Structure 1
Amino acid sequence: MSEPALELVVDGRQRVADGVLALTLRRADGGELPGWEPGAHVDLLLGEGLVRQYSLCSDPADRRRWRIAVLREEAGRGGSAYVHDELSEGAKVRARGPRNNFALHPAARYVFIAGGIGITPILPMAAAAEAAGAEWSLLYGGRTRASMAFTGELTHYGARVTLAPQDESGLLDLAPLLAEPRQDTLVYCCGPGPLLDAVAELCGSRPPGALHVERFEPRATARNGAAHAFEVELARSGRTLTVPADASVLDTVRAAGVEVLYSCTEGTCGTCETEVVEGTPDHRDSLLSEEERRAGETMMICVSRCRGERLVLDL
């Protein structure tokens, strides 16, 4: 299983907030880029096995250019520093995707909530909601006003957008925004883990599927739990492998020479999502909904394991 990488060129660089760099990317051969919808991300292959996911925040109708925005994380794992330091204008970079695990579903009304760099997938969502004539609002917070990207682009939406820098107004006031659930409303939130957890708690009484979140980091509890060895049968080849207690399914199948797509290795991006033919997964990702977990039809093989002794996967 493989996915060819696109050869891209950095067409432009722009500082859009303190520590945030926006890159415009085009195909090296001048052709059209793959289509995408709001919520999609691409994997940038940054060399030396470094793969990072960045949300597309441009206009999906523009098939010539993609835009991403990257916050420099001084304590990160090296991806953001590489983008800021190495991807100068004219530099080449490979990408896979787009992929969308945060799709915007049709609704009469939307509540968008963004924290920091979490504004990136929300930008095209707001534009799509506006174009569809839906009722919508955006609450956007950050440490300071200077740290919040794309605030200028949001001004033409007027009162639909509320900017709430923490140094001016404190933590986001979520309760009034989410106090009265409506059947016609979907909530989309992207940002730091504590923000997503607070929104999820306030949306606990809403019907399944009303809340959609995207995490940039794994949930603190996602990978907890004891690990035991188990067997994985690869349905396409009939091979059976033993997954040790101290290794992931992904590590095990790759060591056996099986080619699989993967990216974050943290259970947040969805690249390694694999169909479960038989068995019960022990879900340890930060992506699937509770309904999807109960269904057990797919699993993220980079972190999730088996509740029993055997899984059969569509590999």
Structure 2
Amino acid sequence: MWRIDAQRLHAVVEALWNEDHQVRVHLDQEPNPAREPTVTSPPTTAPASSRHGAAYEGTVTVLSRRTVADGVLSLELAPGSGEPLPPWQPGAHIDVVLPTGVTRQYSLCGPAELRDRWRVAVLREPDGRGGSRWIHDNVREGTRLRVRGPRNHFPLRPARRYLFVGGGIGITPLLPMTAAAEAAGAEWSLLYGGRTHASMAFLPELAGYGDRVTVRPQDRYGLLDLAGFLGEPDPSALVYCCGPAGLIDAVEAHCADWPPGSLNVERFAAAAGEQPAVEEGEQPIEVELRASGMTLTVPPEQSVLRAVEEAGVPVLSSCEEGICGSCETAVVEGEVDHRDSLLTDEERAAGDTMLICVSRARGARLVLDL
């Protein structure tokens, strides 16, 4: 009979959380252009210190470049000065700032205990906005890249049991999660799908876990059997899913009757119905930038992010679709009309933060900590 070592689980996951708490601080694919727990758990979302700002900002050198699947590169990055990199927990990602001026997010997918290097994987996106193509065509061993991070909007929380579902390049944030679950002695299993066997990265690493990992390329097995894998709602389990929108939507449907907070997802693109858009009857809003001492009028056709940038106030941004979290900003006053695909229901209800690339005010005025 399987028994979880609760103390080991708590120690492993809490250690990752505590390391990340000391830092002031998914995505691996470019944005689409068109219970009964027996372990005391940390909060269900990453603490503010790990979500805002960057723990490290500087230049790293590419130590290795490997092709790990059709169209997928694995890059190992190390700081040029040799100083240790910031600690991170499974689910974290970094920003890679390319010479072309674009910024992309990539999940850290190597061993979390290593402090001298980070590993990321990059899927070449022929129909993307050029970031992944530039990396595939230009980055070699010895290439220097500007990076920021890590940040974590997809943290692993303690549980008796984990069900991981990965699709394509969405396997990357799940790799350190499976390693942490294994180290803690937790019960876990992974369902991993992709277009073809050759397109699925890191299979040799996962093979070491034996029957805990189920590999199902679509050209041989069809769509993933989510009902068979997830089973009935389990109050002691947490589900983690990363991959294409269709996969995440299907997992959300299967988990609709699970206890609140059981499902944790990371998206590559905004969820259906949450794409940034000008709503009918949209009105201009007034946005006060408290720290900068200025007030802006943001017309319906302009995002708060764009208005802030045009006012000359520096703010991080990348996807502009409400999925990466780079532009997450603290709200001092006002009610937010959340239109992102990242914040939890609890965070939206709290109303003390917003993604200014897509979200606006429910009323006529917002005060931001900018």
Q: Which moved more, 1:113-122 or 1:46-55?
A: 46-55
Q: 2 CA distance for matches of 1:112 and 1:224?
A: 32
Are residue 281 (structure 1) and residue 336 (structure 2) matched?
yes
Indicate the RMSD between aligned Cα atoms, in angstroms. Answer: 1.4
Q: Which moved more, 1:224-233 or 1:126-135?
A: 224-233
In the alignment, which of 102, 127, 140 is matched to residue 192 of structure 2?
Answer: 140
Q: 2 CA distance for matches of 1:178 and 1:235?
A: 47
Match of 1:245 in 2: 300
Q: 1 CA distance for matches of 2:271 and 2:249?
A: 9
Unaligned runs of 5+ in 1: none
Match of 1:195 in 2: 247
Match of 1:235 in 2: 290
Q: Which moved more, 1:104-113 or 1:239-248?
A: 239-248
Aligned partner of residue 140 in structure 2, secondary structure:
coil
Matching residue's letter, 2:287: V
Aligned partner of residue 308 in structure 2, secondary structure:
helix
Measured at CA, do residues 110 and 2 of structure 1 come closer, stay the same or move farther in structure 2, by a change above 3 Å? closer
Match of 1:309 in 2: 364
Are residue 300 (structure 1) and residue 352 (structure 2) matched?
no
Residue pair 1:2, 1:260 contacting (<8 A) in 2 also: no
Matching residue's letter, 1:11: L
In the alignment, which of 183, 186, 207 is matched to residue 155 of structure 1?
Answer: 207
1:2 Cα deviation after fit: 7.3
Match of 1:214 in 2: 266
Match of 1:164 in 2: 216
Aligned partner of residue 209 in structure 2, secondary structure:
helix
Deviations 1:198-230 (A, max 9, x none): 111111112221111001112232124514310
Deviations 1:277-315 (A, max 9, x none): 221211111111223222222110011111111111121
Q: Deviating runs (4+, > 3 A) in structure 1?
A: 1-4
Match of 1:271 in 2: 326
Q: 1 CA distance for matches of 2:248 and 2:335?
A: 27
Q: 2 CA distance for matches of 1:23 and 1:202?
A: 34
Deviations 1:15-45 (A, max 9, x none): 0000101011111112211111100000000
In the alignment, which of 179, 183, 195 is matched to residue 127 of structure 1?
Answer: 179
| Alignment TM-score, normalising by the size of structure 1 | 0.96
1:188 Cα deviation after fit: 0.3
Are residue 8 (structure 1) and residue 63 (structure 2) matched?
no
Q: 2 CA distance for matches of 1:281 and 1:247?
A: 16
Matching residue's letter, 1:279: G
Q: 2 CA distance for matches of 1:6 and 1:209?
A: 35
Match of 2:38 in 1: none
Task: Judging by fraction of residues, say which structure has more strand.
Answer: 1
Residue pair 1:27, 1:33 contacting (<8 A) in 2 also: yes
Question: Percent identity of the aligned residues?
Answer: 61
Unaligned runs of 5+ in 2: 1-51
Q: 2 CA distance for matches of 1:264 and 1:205?
A: 31
| Alignment TM-score, normalising by the size of structure 2 | 0.82
Residue pair 2:278, 2:300 contacting (<8 A) in 1 also: no
Aligned partner of residue 93 in structure 1, secondary structure:
strand
Are residue 262 (structure 1) and residue 314 (structure 2) matched?
no
Match of 1:98 in 2: 150
